[in-house]
C-alpha cells in the first residue's frame, strides 16, 4: 500500500472528516503532519500541493487534495484503486 500523508491543523473540521474517511477505508497508519506552529511544514505543504488550506492529502506520489476531493474519490470508487497501486 502506498504511503498516505495528511497535512493537518488541530482545530479543523475538514481534517477530522478526512482522517475519519481514511480510517473507515482501512487506512489507519497514515502519516499526519501538523502544520500549525511549523512554518517549515506549512511551506512544505504549500510547495507540494499548491494550496494553503488543510487538510492536504497525498497517496503515494499523488496529491489528492482536501477533504472534498478525498470524498469524491471514495464515492467514485477511485480511492480503492489509488490505494492498491
Ligand atoms: N474544500 C476544502 C476546505 C478546507 C478548509 O476550508 N479548511 C480550513 C480548515 S478546516 C482552512 O484551511 N481554513 C484556512 C483558510 O481557508 O485559509 C476541503 O474540502 O478540504
Question: What pLDDT, on the 0 to 100 scale, is given for residue 85?
Answer: 76
Q: How far is the CA of 64 from the centre of ligand 1 (A)?
A: 14
The mean pLDDT of 55-80, rounded to a whole number, is 97
With a 6 A CB cut-off, is 66 part of the ligand 1 pocket? yes
Containing structural domain, residue 73: 4-84
Instruction: Tell me if 25 sits within 8 A of 74, measured CB to CB.
Output: yes
| H or E stretch at 18 | helix 13-24
Instruction: Tell me if 79 sits within 8 A of 23, measured CB to CB.
Output: no
pTM: 0.96
Looking from the CA of residue 18, the nearest atom of ligand 1 is 20
At residue 64, does pLDDT exceed 90? Answer: yes
> How does residue 24 score in pLDDT terms, banded at 50, 70 and 90?
very high
Question: What pLDDT, on the 0 to 100 scale, is given for residue 53?
Answer: 98
Distance from C-alpha of 48 to C-alpha of 4, rounded to nearest angstrom:
14
User: Number of structural domains, the chain?
Assistant: 1
Looking from the CA of residue 65, the nearest atom of ligand 1 is 20
> What DSSP string runs through 37-83?
T-HHHHHHHHHHHS--SS-EEEETTEEEESHHHHHHHHHHTHHHHHH
> How does residue 13 score in pLDDT terms, banded at 50, 70 and 90?
very high
At residue 74, does pLDDT exceed 80? Answer: yes
Q: Residue 59 belongs to a domain with what CATH number?
A: 3.40.30.10
Amino acid at each position: 500500500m502506498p504511503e498516505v500523508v495528511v497535512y493537518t491543523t488541530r482545530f479543523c473540521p475538514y481534517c477530522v472528516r478526512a482522517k475519519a474517511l481514511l480510517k473507515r477505508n482501512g487506512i489507519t497508519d497514515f502519516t499526519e503532519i501538523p502544520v500549525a506552529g511549523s512554518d517549515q511544514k506549512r511551506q512544505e505543504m504549500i510547495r507540494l500541493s499548491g494550496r494553503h488550506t488543510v487538510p492536504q492529502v497525498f497517496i503515494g506520489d499523488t496529491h489528492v487534495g482536501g477533504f472534498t476531493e478525498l470524498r469524491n474519490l471514495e464515492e467514485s470508487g477511485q480511492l480503492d484503486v489509488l490505494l492498491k497501486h
